[in-house]
Structure formats: structure tokens, C-alpha cells
Amino acid sequence: MLLLLAVLLWGPNPVITVITLQQIPPLSLGFFRLAFAAVIAAIFFVPRGYLRIKSNDIPVFILIGLFGSSLNMAFFLFGLRHTTAMTAQAIFTATPVFTAIFAYVFLKERIQVLQVVGVVVGLVGSLFIALRAFFETGNFEDGSLFGNSLVFISLLMWVAYILMSKNLSERYSPFTLTGFVFIFGGLSFIPLAVWENMQIGLDWVHTVTLGGVLGVVYQGAVASFIAFIAYQIGLQLTTAFAAGVVLYLGPVVTTMFAVPVLGEQVTWPFVIGVLLIIVGSFVATQHEFVVQKIRKKEG
């Protein structure tokens, strides 16, 4: 139930982000979101001792803060200005596929035949999503290829965070990792937000409505903090198999909000791409669980 709750809270986030970006510039929105999440994390985590780390680990925490929040979020926010909420969420469903690729290339982790099949299928699905405009109209004049490319870069930043935090996760609580991702990410966004506002000015501040403020609150408190807590606790109460399957519901939830709220359309390239990504991610990440079940039945 907690894993499902996390997906239900993450699902509307791309839609809310698209709406909020109409009032708040991308880098400023990223700063406010992470700063708000960092304050909440400090309130809940400091009294419990989760924000204590060794001094020699600080550089690594700064790096995962950059890749896991500021760089990842900056590319995602700029990407959302040129693509749809549904497409952005669908692209991130391919996270397991690219994690398997990067783990093989950089960490020299072994990869099984079924994983290779899953990776190939997932990559084909990713291409369907990235080239969605071409399949639908025969051109890229709507700028979606550029937006999709930025979201893909955001995805790669997130994968880098996952791999870099792998060793730290053996020594620190996931709450510690996430708390410092918010803190260092928020700090690194300060110069970016300052630069952005030096370029465009501060006139946008006077046009922010209550809806824009609530958008920041949702992204910082709900999508970043509450959803993460629900997901982490849910992981402890269930299997990795169940966790992976539940996360594949993300594009479905986002679509349920994007269609009526933003007027986005479900097209055949989108459906094919999402299905291929889900199948590829499932095969690439859940093959060991399935094989073990088959062997138990045969034994």
C-alpha cells in the first residue's frame, strides 16, 4: 500500500510541474522545491540523528546532491517546457534499463542474457518515446525532440546518482542520503537561481498566484519528501519484485492527470513506447526473481 501511495503521489508531479512552470522560472522553481524539502528533512531527520556523516564522505555527498537533485532537476524542468508530462514520466520509467547499462560499463557488473534482451527492448521503447513527434507528424517542429533529450539527460543524471550512492547506502540510512541530496542540491541551486534572475529579472515574482505557491509546496513536501518516505518504508515491507512492478504504474497515473488537466493526448507511439519500456525494465530487473520461482517449482 505504501509503495502504491508513493506512485500515486509521484504520478501527478509532472503535471503540477508543467502548471507551476507557467509562473515560476525553472531554476528558481528547482531551488524553492529543494529548499523546502531540505527544511522538512532537517526538521524530521536532525532530531533522529540521520544527518550525521563522516567528514571524508562530504565530497561524495556533494556529488550525489548535484547528480541526484540539482543537475537532474534542472534538465528535467527545462525539458518539461518543451515536451509533455506523460512523455517525461514515461522516459523515467526506463531508469532500470539505463542503470543496468551503466552498471555494466562503469562498475563491471555481470549482465545476463535476459538482461540484455530487456535492455534492448527498453531502449527501443525509449526511442519510440523520444521520436514520438516524428512518428505522429513526420517532423520535429514542435520542439519535443529537444525537450525529450533534456529529460533523457536528467534520467542519466539520476542513474549516475543511483550508482554513486550505492556504496554509501551500505553505510548510511536512505534517510541520510536523501536528506543530504536535498540540502546539497538546494545549496547548489542558489547560484543557478541567482544567475537566472539576473538574466530575466524579478517581475515574475509579482505574478505568482496561490496555485504557484501550492505547486511548490506539493513538489517539495509531497512529491519529494512524503512520497520518498512512503517508498522507503514500503521497500522494507515488500519484495524488490513488487516494488519494481508498482513503479511501472507511474506513466499510467501521470496520464490519468495529464489528459484531463493539460489536454495531452494518448497516441500509438506513446502507448507502444511505454509498453516496451515496461516490458524491458521488467525483464532487465526482475529476471532473477522469476528464474528462482521457476526453479523452486521444478525442484
More confident of the two residues 285 and 223? 223
For residue 148, which of 135, 160, 133 has the smallest C-alpha distance? 133
In this prediction, residue 175 carries a pLDDT of 86
The residue-averaged pLDDT of 58-67 equals 90
- List all residues 6 or more positions away from 94 whose beta carbon is below 8 Å from its beta carbon: 122, 123, 125, 126, 155, 277, 280, 281
Residue 206 lies in domain: 2-298
Q: Would you state the torsion angle of the CA atoms of residues 201, 144, 161, 272, taken in this order, to the nearest 10 degrees?
A: 150
> How many whole angstroms separate alpha carbon 248 and alpha carbon 134?
25
More confident of the two residues 73 and 298? 73
pTM: 0.85
How many CA within 13 A on the CB side of residue 287? 18
pLDDT digits (tens, 9 = 90+) for 116-171: 888 888 888 888 887 877 787 777 655 688 888 999 999 999 888 888 887 787 78
CB 156 within 8 A of CB 98: yes
Q: How many domains does the chain fold into?
A: 1
For residue 131, which of 97, 91, 159 has the smallest C-alpha distance? 91
